[in-house]
A and B are shown apart, each in its own frame.
Chain A
C-alpha cells in the first residue's frame, strides 16, 4: 500500500494516541511528536484534533491526566492510560489487524478471468 498523506479518521487517531501513551505517560506535545516521528512525517495530524482526542478520551475514562513538570522543568499536563484505556487499545489493535488482514486478502486474491 502506498503511503500517502492520509486524513486520519478521528477513531484511528484515538488508537494512535493510545498507542503512544502505552509507551508511558507523556504530555500532549510528546504524543504529537510520537505520531509524527512514528509515521516518518507522513501522517499530518492537526494538533487541535489531537488535543480534542486526548480530552475526549479523558472524558471516556481511557486516559487520565495530571499536571507535572516537563524535562525542561516547565509545567505541563501529562496523560497516561487507565486500565480501561489499555483494554480499549488491545481491542482496537485486534480490530485493526483484522481489518488490514481482510483488506490484504482481498487485494492478493486472484483476479477472476474475464469471460
Chain B
C-alpha cells in the first residue's frame, strides 16, 4: 500500500492488516450498493438479494481466492516494509554515529582489537584441532596408531613405529581394519644448486592412498609392485599444489622426471624419479605440514649394517594409519593391537607394558602430548577471549555514557509514539553497525595476524590451507553480531527507563545512581581481567628469563656440532669413517677460530640412547632411572663446558681385565648412591656379568635431552666402550670463537667434502638447537605481553572515558566546590580518589582471579610459580599507574572549571 503518510505511519501502526475482515467489508459494501440499486428499481429486498448473489457467483469460492491473493500481497508488503525499516535504521544509526565521531571510532577500534585477536586465534586453532586433513574421505573413520612407551620423562604416548611393528599389526588386525604406513614429511632439495627449490617429501606405502580414500586426478598411485619393501621403484606421486607450483599445471606431467638431492644413501648426486600420478586438489597428507611429493616408503629408508630397513628396529619414524571396517568394535581392536605390540619381536626392545590406542586422524587430538607451542596457543585462545570481554565491557561503558547524553532525544521519540521495541531496535542497530564495521577491520587484522601467528607459533610447518577460511569469517561475523547486540542491549534497555518529563526538564545532566553501578561494575571487570593478563605476561617473561639464564652446562654461544650423513652406510664402512674422523682431529683443531675439538656418539639434543645397566653397592631403593648415555672422548668436557664436579675425566682406555672408566652426572650419582660418593663404584652395562665400568668422575647435570626442570640422570662412556650398537662417532664437537663461527663451519664442510667425497655433512650450532626450545616461553612472553598491553590500552581508555564522563556530569558540583574555596589540588585528589576506587576493587578482584587461574598455565612456566608475588605486584602496579594517568586529564579539567560558568550551565 503506497501510503501517503510514509514515515510516522509505520510508528503508529499497531496492527497487522486483517485480510479476511477487509474482504468481508469490501464485498458487503458491494452487496449493499447493488441491493440498494435494485430495490430502488422496484425489486423486493429478497429478490434484490437473490439477484445480487446470482450476479456475483460463488461467494465462498471467490472469498477464498481473494483471501489467498491478499495474504500474499500482505506478506510481500510486510517483507518490504521490514527491509525498508531495517535500511532506515541503518541509515539513522550511521548518521547518529557520525555525530559523535570520537566515541564511534573508539568503539570500533576497541571492538576490532577484541574481534581481531579472537579471529586470528580461532583460525590457528581451527586448523590445528578442528579441521580434518583436506581431501580425505570420511576422515572421522580414520585413526592414528599411538603407543605408550618409556620416553625421557616417563611413559608417554607417541606415534613413531618401525616396520616390524607395522607388519605385526597388519598380521593381527589387518582383516578388521585397513592399515597404511607413512613417514613424517621432510624437506628435500630438488637440485644441487646454491639455493635449491625445496619440496616437502614423505614416504608412503601402497595402501596409504586407499586407506584415506584418495583418488588420483591424473595418472595413478603406487602399485604393490612399485612399493615392494625390498626393491622399490623410483616413482613418485605429486600433490596438486606442487603440480601447479613446479610444473605450472602441465597436463603432460605424467612420465616426467623429478630430481631430488641429498639422498639418504649419502651420495651427493641427484636421484631421479618418474612421476606417475597427481593427487587430487587440496589433498596434502594428514599432517599440518603439507606434502608435495610422495615416494614409496621403501625408497626413503636405508639398509644398515646388512639389515634391511624393514627388519631393522632402529629404523623408525614411521606413522601408522588405519580405517576401521564396518561393524568392528574399536576397543576390541585396540586390545588386540596392545597384545601384539607387547610381543618380543616388535620394536627396538620388548615392552610388556605398552598400551596401544587409536587416536583421531587429527594428530593434535591424539593421546600423545601436544607440542609445547600448541599448548601455549590454546592458552592464548583463552587470553583472546578475555581481551574480547574487556573490549566489550569498555564498549558497553562508552555506549552507556552516550545513551545518557541522548536522554532528551530519546524522550522526545518516546513522546512522539515510537514503540519501545522499535527504539531498542534502533539503538541496538547502532551498536551492531559499529560491530559490523569493527568486524570488517578485525577480519583484515586477523588475516594478517593469523599468518603472523602461524609463523610465530609453528614456524617449521609448511601450511597447506590458507590462514583465512570461510569458517573464520563466519566466526568473526557471528562474534561481531553477538558482541554488537549484547553491548547495545544494556544501554538501550536503560534508555527506556527514564521518566519522560524528568528527562525533558533535566536535560543531560543527571546520571542516575543505578546507572553508575553498572558502569562501575564494568570498570571492575575490565581492571580485573587486565590484571590477569598482565600477570600472565609477567610470569612468562620471568620464565623466559629463568630459562635463558639457567646454567645448562654448556658454553652455548661457542659450541658447534658437525655430523656426517652416513646413516645408510654399512657397519664396516661406518667404522672406517669413524676412525678417519677421529684421525682428523689435529686438522680440525688447526682451523683458525677452533679452540677445542671433541667427539661424541651424539650431540646434545641429537637423540637418546639407553641401556640396561647393573650398578653395584647401590644405596637407594626403587626403580633404576633409565640408563641414558652418551659416549664421548676425553676432551668432551673441556670442549663442551660441562664441568666435572668431583673426580676426574677419562684418562685410560681400559684395563687388561676389560674394565673401563665411566663418568656419571650428578643426578645419576644422587639417584644411585645418595649420601655416598659415587667415585670408585662399579657398573655393569648390558649384562650383569659384563666387565666393570668404574666411576671416575661426577659431572655437572647438563641438559641433554631437552629443557626440563628436573635433572635427568646420565652416563658418559668412553667412545671405545659404547655398549650397543656400534655406531661410531656420531658428531664432532667444536668449541669455537663466536666471532668466527660461520667461517669455521664453512672450512669444516669443505674439509669433510674433500675427505669423504661420497658423504654429505651437516652442522648446527648450540644456539640454533636451543632456539626451538626457548620458543614456547618466548612466544608466551611475547604474546601475553602483546595482549596484556592491548588489554591495558583498552582498560585505560575505559577509565579515561568513565572518569571523563563522571566529571562532565558533575561540572556544576565542581563549580560549587571551587566557589567554596577548594584548591586545584583538592579537586584533582577528589576526582582521582573517586575514579580510582573502582579500579582498585578491580585490581583486587583481578589478583584473586589470577591466583585461581594460575593452574591453567602452571605447566607452561619455568622456574616460577603462578602465585609469584613479584608478578602480581607488578601487574597491579602497572594497571594502577595507567589508570592514574588516564584519570589525570579529566581530573585536571575538573580543577580548571570556572565556578561562574559551571553554575550557569545546566
Contacts and interface: CB of A to CB of B under 8 A. Distances in A.
A98 interface: no
B689 interface: no
Contacts of B27: 51
Contacts of A74: 29, 32
Given A29-B29, A48-B59, 11 more contacts: A28-B30, A29-B33, A32-B30, A32-B34, A48-B57, A49-B57, A51-B26, A55-B65, A55-B66, A74-B29, A75-B25
Q: Which 7 A-B pairs have the closest CB atoms?
A: A48-B57, A48-B62, A46-B57, A47-B56, A29-B33, A55-B69, A77-B26
Contact of A56 (B32, B59, B69): B69
A59 B25 CA distance: 19
B57 A75 contact: no
Interface stretch (A64-72, A89-97, A101-109): A64-72
Interface string B12-37: 00000000001001110110111000
A47 B51 CA distance: 12
A46 B61 CA distance: 13
Interface of B: 1-2, 22, 25-27, 29-30, 32-34, 55-59, 61-62, 65-66, 69-70, 72-73
B179 to A, nearest CB: 65
Contacts of B32: 74
A43 to B, nearest CB: 12
25 contacts: A28-B29, A29-B34, A32-B34, A44-B55, A48-B56, A48-B57, A48-B58, A49-B62, A51-B30, A51-B62, A51-B66, A52-B65, A52-B66, A55-B66, A55-B69, A55-B73, A58-B69, A59-B69, A59-B72, A59-B73, A66-B1, A74-B29, A76-B26, A76-B29, A77-B29
A77 B25 contact: yes
Contacts of A28: 26, 29-30
A27 interface: yes
B37 to A, nearest CB: 8
Given A55-B69, A64-B1, A27 B29 contact: yes
A59 B2 CA distance: 13
Contacts of A47: 30, 34, 55-57
A44 B26 CA distance: 21
Contacts of A66: 1
B540 to A, nearest CB: 67
A27 to B, nearest CB: 7
Nearest to A45: B55
Contact of B73 (A32, A44, A58, A70): A58
A14 B72 CA distance: 20
B824 to A, nearest CB: 68
Interface string A70-84: 100011110000000
Contacts of B25: 75, 77
Given A29-B34, A76-B26, A77-B26, A48 B73 contact: no
Given A46-B56, A65-B1, A55 B70 contact: yes
A50 to B, nearest CB: 9
Query: Which one of B25, B33, B59 has the greatest number of beta carbons of chain A within 10 Å?
Result: B33
A58 B17 CA distance: 15
Contacts of B26: 28, 51, 76-77
Contacts of B22: 77
Nearest to B25: A75
A69 B27 CA distance: 15
A32 B29 CA distance: 13
B4 to A, nearest CB: 8
A27 B70 CA distance: 17
A47 B26 CA distance: 12
Nearest to B62: A48
Contact of B62 (A27, A52, A75, A77): A52
Query: Which one of B27, B32, B61, B69 has the greatest number of beta carbons of chain A within 10 Å?
Result: B69
Contacts of A59: 69, 72-73
A55 B19 CA distance: 12
A87 to B, nearest CB: 16
Contacts of A65: 1
A36 B61 CA distance: 23
Contacts of A29: 29-30, 33-34
Contacts of B62: 48-49, 51-52
Contacts of A27: 29
B29 A75 contact: yes
Nearest to B73: A59
A56 B73 CA distance: 9
A59 B55 CA distance: 24
Query: Which one of B22, B30, B61, B73 has the greatest number of beta carbons of chain A within 10 Å?
Result: B30
Contacts of B58: 48
A52 B58 CA distance: 12
B1 to A, nearest CB: 7
Nearest to B3: A66
A46 B70 CA distance: 20
A70 B69 contact: no
Contacts of B65: 52, 55
A88 B61 CA distance: 28
